[in-house]
């Protein structure tokens, strides 16, 4: 792969997407930073990124963004699928309409945008797809089942795609962040609180929800959590490597928990999780 540029990144209005776009621009890459509301990307534009409107739940928006890049460069060099969020709650009580909406962003939007860039990459004989997953695509905590399911889906589609497109000179990379300070934990707790009945006395899971909210807040305030630049550095490495890894795990804590889940099996992991949530 002679060049990873141009780089098209989704979800750049804040957090990991913003940090990644800024780091890649500073490293000299041609970066197309995108968000549903491009006015949120003013600082990235000043820094040198090119700005596009892109909503991964809207077909016309995705097609227009890809066309804009291809009209100027022939193909997208690297696609960084970063846009995503978490919908949390017990499996029994969480509103499935909200879960479907989350999957539209976290999985179907990622999949469709990938479909749109692949023909150009195949014509060019090169390309790279970097999917931002999560340690939550390898391990699962209670109250996060639906979010974890969306990330497990990203892991699965990445594994299939990696083999399918390798003959065309296209690499597929999965980045799996641990706890990253992006405000994610606040949005998770707000989402749970706004779901009717979940934290009321009528919920069978009220005690679990209270413990989950407390644990989430505490964990993100410890050294287990790092800033979004830590993920951006890994994405930069994945973009620039001649032979990138298939997976990059971000944070030592995430590596340790994934190893515990893999080596310990179900019983050890369940015991660990129950201890964490005092269940």
pLDDT of residue 224: 81
- Which one of the listed residues 88, 146, 147, 248 is annotated catalytic? 147
pLDDT of residue 222: 82
Q: How far apart are CA 247 and CA 230, in angstroms?
A: 15
pLDDT of residue 144: 95
Contacts of 68 (CB under 8 A, 6+ apart): 32, 52
Instruction: Please say if 13 is a catalytic residue.
Output: yes
Nearest Cα residue to 57 out of 99, 136, 111: 111
pLDDT of residue 196: 44
pLDDT of residue 195: 54
For 252, phi and psi rounded to 5 degrees?
Answer: -60, -35
Contacts of 207 (CB under 8 A, 6+ apart): none
pLDDT of residue 214: 86
Q: How far apart are CA 137 and CA 107, in angstroms?
A: 12
- Which one of the listed residues 13, 111, 233, 255 is annotated catalytic? 13
Nearest Cα residue to 15 out of 176, 182, 164: 182
- Which one of the listed residues 75, 133, 134, 212 is annotated catalytic? 133
pLDDT of residue 1: 47
User: Do the Cβ atoms of 98 and 87 come closer than 8 Å?
Assistant: yes
Which residues is 9 bridged to in the sheet?
Answer: 33, 80
Residue 264, preceding peptide bond in cis (omega within 30° of 0) = no
The conformation of residue 178, written as its DSSP 8-state character, comes to -
pLDDT of residue 180: 94
Runs of H (alpha helix) within the chain: 15-26, 42-47, 59-73, 96-103, 110-124, 145-165, 184-194, 206-220, 229-240, 252-277
Which ranges of the chain have pLDDT less than 50? Answer: 1, 196-197, 199
- Which one of the listed residues 32, 134, 146, 151 is annotated catalytic? 151
What tens digit of pLDDT does each residue of 41-96 get? Answer: 999 999 999 999 999 999 999 999 999 999 999 999 999 999 999 999 999 999 99
User: Do the Cβ atoms of 58 and 66 come closer than 8 Å?
Assistant: no
């Amino acid at each position: 792969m002679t060049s990873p540029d141009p780089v098209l990144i989704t979800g750049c209005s804040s957090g990991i997407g913003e940090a990644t776009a800024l780091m890649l621009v500073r490293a000299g890459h041609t970066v197309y930073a995108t968000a549903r509301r491009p006015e949120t990307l003013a600082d990235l534009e000043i820094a040198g990124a090119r700005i596009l409107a892109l909503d991964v739940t809207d077909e016309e928006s995705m097609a227009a963004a890809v066309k804009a890049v291809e009209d100027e460069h022939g193909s997208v060099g690297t696609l960084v699928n970063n846009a995503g969020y978490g919908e949390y709650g017990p499996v029994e009580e969480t509103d499935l309409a909200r879960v479907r909406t989350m999957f539209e962003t976290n999985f179907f939007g990622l999949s469709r945008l990938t479909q749109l860039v692949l023909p150009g990459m195949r014509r060019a004989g090169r390309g790279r797809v970097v999917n931002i997953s999560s340690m939550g695509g390898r391990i699962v905590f209670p109250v996060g089942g639906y979010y974890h399911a969306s990330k497990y889906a990203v892991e699965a589609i990445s594994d299939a795609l990696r083999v399918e497109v390798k003959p065309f000179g296209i690499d597929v990379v999965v980045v799996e962040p641990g706890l990253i300070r992006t405000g994610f934990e606040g949005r998770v707790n707000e989402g749970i609180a706004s779901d009717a009945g979940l934290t009321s006395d009528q919920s069978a899971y009220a005690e679990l929800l209270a413990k989950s909210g407390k644990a989430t807040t505490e964990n993100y305030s410890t050294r287990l959590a790092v800033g979004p630049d830590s993920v951006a550095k890994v994405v930069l490495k994945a973009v620039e490597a001649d032979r990138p890894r298939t997976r990059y795990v971000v944070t030592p804590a995430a590596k340790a928990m994934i190893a515990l889940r893999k080596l310990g099996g179900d019983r050890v992991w369940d015991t660990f999780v129950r201890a964490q949530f005092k269940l």
